[in-house]
Amino acid sequence: MNIRVFDNEAQAGQAAALVIAAQIVKKPDSVIGLATGGTPVLTYQDLARLTKSGILDWDRVTTFNLDEYLGLAGDHEQSFRAFMVKNLFSKVNIKPDAIHIPDGLAKDPEAESLAYERSINTRGGIDLQLLGLGRTGHIGFNEPDSLFSTRTHVVDLTADTISANARFFANPSDVPRQAMTMGIGTIMQAREILMLVTGAEKARAVRGMVCNPVDPQCPGSVLQLHANVTVFLDRPAATAMYHCQ
């Protein structure tokens, strides 16, 4: 695990954008895994800026998002698809059919999950996966105690994740209780992983991820077993990891 601590959230977010940009420049037909949540917003702003200034071309890029709420249509304001359109896809020249996000309204979520996995494999797997870290240590929506071998599947969200994500909804009771997420096995198959974590409320999860042995109670800790992981932190997120004993 290659860990870098930046002075602030903006610097960490910009650095993450540069890693993604470099991947696209190096391999114009890259398959990029993307994340939602508050953390990557600055990264997406920067990617949009680099694209506008002519540095980045998304014409041959394919993307797969980590997850989507079950029960929300793609055009629902709080769906992860709507988030991605607003923050990135409407600002770059990616082809609509190169965008992949699980369908939150799929009639058969199990079949949708299998099809999502097949789609990733058909496109040769993910070159670079961007990840955030939940307060519970979750990656994607793989909550504590998830099996490390899981592929894309339906999950029940924990009370902590529901309360963390309630800030995006008018009413906390509107937060969906289930989601479809790439599994830990899917994430670990990416050739390279870039994790971005900012804010003091993530310090405990960061500590669990980097200081403690690999443990399903902190799903992010599985990244210790991946050969090509970079973690970008801001100072507040890094505070608890300096005392690993």
Which residues, including other chains, have CB under 8 Å from residue 189's CB and lie 6 or more apart? 125, 126
Enumerate the β-bridge partners of residue 155: 179
Find the part of the chain contacting ligand GLP (CB under 6 A) among 36-44, 84-92, 106-114, 206-214.
36-44
Q: Residue 186: which of 108, 245, 100 has the closest Cα? A: 100
Q: Is 141 one of the binding residues for ligand GLP (CB under 6 A)?
A: yes
DSSP 94: -
Under the binding rule (CB under 6 A), the answer on residue 238 touching ligand GLP is: no
Q: Which of 13, 37, 109, 208 binds ligand GLP (CB under 6 A)?
A: 37
d(CA 135, CA 95): 33
By the rule CB under 6 A, 87 interacts with ligand GLP: no
Q: How many CB atoms lie within 10 A of CB 215?
A: 16
Residue 109 or 140: which CB sits closer to ligand GLP?
140
Exactly one of 31, 48, 61, 66 binds ligand GLP (CB under 6 A); that residue is 66
Interface region with ligand GLP, contact rule CB under 6 A, candidates 95-103, 119-127, 133-141, 209-217: 133-141
Binding range to ligand GLP, per CB under 6 A, among 30-38, 52-60, 87-95, 230-238: 30-38
| 188: helix, strand or coil | helix
